[in-house]
Homo-oligomer: A and B are copies of this chain.
Amino acid sequence: MGWTDRLPLDGLMMGEQLLLSRLIDYAADYHGKTEVVARELDGTVARSDWASVRRGAARMANGLRAAGFDGECRVASLEWSTLAHLQHYYAVLGLGLPLHTLNPRLTPDDLAYMVRLVGDDVVIFDTENAALAASLAPLVPEVAAWISVGDIADELVAAFPRLIRESDLLAGAADAVIWPEFDENRAATICFTSGTTGRPKGVAYTHRSITLSAMNMSMADMYANTRGGEAECVLPIAAMFHANAWMMPFSAALNGQKLVLPGRRLDAGPIVDLIVDEAVTLAGGVPTIWTGVLDELDRRGITSTPLRTALVAGTALPGHIFDRLTERGVVARQSWGMTEVPGAARGAPPLGASRQTPEQQRKLAVERQGRVAAQARARLVDGEGQPLPFDGVAAGDLELRGPTVLSRYVGEPPEAAREWLATGDIAVIHPDATLAIVDRAKDVIKSGGEWISSPQLEAAAVSHPAIAAAAAIAMPHPRWQERPLLVCVAEAGLTVSDEELRTHMEAAVARWWLPEMIVYRADLPLTPTGKINKAALRAEYIEAEGSKR
């Protein structure tokens, strides 16, 4: 037959690459007067718009080029979520250079490790991070230049082998640029995960993966879902060095949305000010952020805000936060993702949810972590790697695959490329495509061949008024293999007997899940991103930790 020796037929569409410079150009060209607002480091609110952000990014790009920072130069930023940082994002990425967003909450030693691993040549830092940068500089002499944004104390200057003031870099730089064209698979932002154990691991996004993530998050059931399509005002209550602040600096540009950046402090007071003053319609944050925001609203006696949607991720959405948000007319939506796979599950309820009772809808919102998205296919596998059904019952290791999913960490060799990414989470997938995370694989407690979910156990404990916080970890057990040890923090001035607490918890979990032992301490150790550091607890309480790390 005539077709056996034919060449493949290519389609005839434009080969334009998915570059992040397209997003800032789109926002500036078509939504140039849409506001971009940020709380600056001095606490004031700076006002800008997408056209001005592009001009600022262009000046920075021209300044970097003029100073010789182009070619294959690698740039790092040590900055909070400010307008300047946003402009650095688009300047560096627009030039096609990788931007390594460093987390200022880490130690100089950890930062030095990451700077060396990526091979950063230039580090941009802001005023508040000048002292940290000065501590870091001696550890990484291979960094060719340091760029300071804003004032820097005289006594710090000597710490840097070559210090350039951003104002000098920008002096005379033109505020327009034609962004270069390059392969969409080139590295874009590089972001390290907050490993609860061992060294942080680097995720190098591509221009393609970020564009697809931003598109995925812009779909109807995600970052823009509440106004019948009209543009939102979005606020990521998250740092720009943490998975690109939920990708919102990109998704907002893609949609011409108003963007509000929270600056350095994510304290409830300033956040509530931004929500009210800037008419934020959609904001994203971890549950503890939302608790703070709700407490602050109560304190001020505010019962209604412009906010329409609260996106929750990071850890599960507690029922009481859902209830408090719902009372204020805010739709609470969980979405699930990780640095390695931003926005893997969408925030939307499944088909038919609007016809369910409020109680059913609450259950869906609280107990499910979103709906599996097409750009990050999910599967569940058992201990032998065999796929499990999506029946809402079978729990297995959650693995992901797709063009927005990490293939390998920075520094891993090409042969480490993954076909499926093991997330380290144990999950269930329901027939309506909603995902329920049961536990972290390393935190799950395996008792007598069955699994005990540590988050569910903790939720049951915390629902007692005397318990402020709780962490369940596995303790080895001669008969049952593992049994739960519950580490609690008591509410100030309150106590509860172990027996009384177990009785209380039994209303929520199976009897055999009840903790084998209960201990108290003043507070729980946290990871740099505010999650409970279970590895530290295991190291402290469990002698034979071994493979659990």
Which B residue sits closest to A22, measured CB to CB? B374
A9 touches B186 (CB 8 A): yes
A96 to B351 alpha-carbon distance, docked (Å): 31
Number of copies of this kind of chain in the complex: 2
Q: Is A298 close to B, CB under 8 A?
A: no
Is A148 engaged at the interface, CB distance under 8 Å to the other chain?
Answer: no
Among B3, B23, B228, contact of A374 (Cβ-Cβ < 8 Å): B23
Residues of B within 8 A of A228 (CB): 225-226, 331, 354
Report B-chain residues with C-beta under 8 Å of the C-beta of A11. Answer: 185-188, 204-209
17 inter-chain pairs at a CB distance below 8 angstroms, sorted by A residue, are A3-B74, A4-B72, A7-B72, A12-B410, A13-B206, A13-B404, A15-B403, A15-B407, A16-B405, A17-B403, A25-B377, A33-B431, A34-B351, A218-B219, A219-B255, A220-B224, A254-B374
Tell me if A286 is interfacial: C-beta within 8 Å of chain B.
no
**Contact with A407, one of B14, B254, B346 (Cβ below 8 angstroms):** B14
The CA-CA distance from A253 to B159 in the complex, in Å, is 57
| A residues whose Cβ falls under 8 Å from a Cβ of B | 1-4, 6-18, 22-23, 25-26, 29-34, 68, 71-74, 96, 98, 121, 142, 144, 182-183, 185-188, 203-209, 212, 215-216, 218-231, 254-258, 331, 333, 346-354, 371-372, 374, 377, 390, 401-410, 412, 417-418, 421, 429, 431-433
Decide yes or no: A121 and B18 within 8 Å by CB, A347-B229, A410-B12 being known contacts: no
Residues of B within 8 A of A408 (CB): 12
Docked complex Cα distance between A33 and B390 (Å):
12
CB distance from A486 to the nearest CB of B (A): 36
Q: How far is the CA of A255 from the CA of B215 in the complex (A)?
A: 13
Nearest CB in chain B: distance from A117 CB, A: 12
A204 touches B9 (CB 8 A): yes
Cα A303 to Cα B346 in complex, Å, equals 35
Known A-B contacts A72-B7, A188-B11; the reply to A255 vs B220 at CB < 8 A is yes
Minimum Cβ distance to chain B for residue A370 (Å): 11
User: Which has the most chain B C-beta neighbours within 10 Å: A203, A205, A402, A409?
Assistant: A402
The 8 Å CB contact of A9, one of B187, B225, B231, B371, is B187
**Which of B204, B218, B333 is close to A12, meaning CB atoms less than 8 Å apart?**
B204
